[in-house]
Amino acid sequence: MIQRCNDRIRDGIMPQWWEEKLEQYEKRKKDYENLMGSEPAGLSFEVVIRLKRLETVKSSLLQADDKYNAIPNIDAIMKDYRAGGYVWDYGKVTYWSNGKFLCGPKEFDVDEFLLLHSEHDGPKGFWAEIHDNPGDFSASPAIGHTLPQGNDPA
């Protein structure tokens, strides 16, 4: 899109409009680069967004009462994501208990969920990390502009 804006400006096609669009796209690209640069290289866009959302959840729990003991799971999940060994796999779920990985990624099965939940102190200390929607790029605390999910502005 940035190249398209530059082409239109160069060709004199509604240059004021395309200059405004160019400014918006360049801002989005910078936001995207800042976001991706805030985490270890090589992580997917979805993982970086999920890390930001997990940081927000953890921050909220630190300010409130982590009555379900979720923080050890959040810390373990974030550590694994950042190490690069834990990737975003749409439609899959992993299970965690008291900061320890239990199993997955696998298809979600409600019976298995209920069994694991009861066997591992659920709801205290139990976490199902579902790889569905990592969060909205525009909702990230580090980002102020909207970028449709999954789109790389570069």
The tokens of 137 are what? 């790029």
Domain membership of residue 2 (yes or no) is yes
**Residue 26: pLDDT above 70?**
yes
Q: Which two tokens stand for residue 138?
A: 């525009």
Residue in this structure with the two tokens 């834990």, named with its chain if needed: 86
DSSP single-letter state for residue 64: S
pLDDT in tens, 62-106: 999 899 999 999 999 999 999 987 777 888 999 999 999 999 999
How many percent of the chain have pLDDT more than 90?
75
- How far is Cα 26 from Cα 63, in angstroms, rounded to an integer? 35
Sign of the four-CA dihedral 80, 85, 88, 89? negative
Query: What pLDDT is stored for residue 53 in this prediction?
Result: 93
pTM for the model: 0.76
Quote the domain boundaries for residue 8: 1-37
Is there a single domain that holds both residue 33 and residue 48? no
Q: Are residues 65 and 122 in the same domain?
A: yes
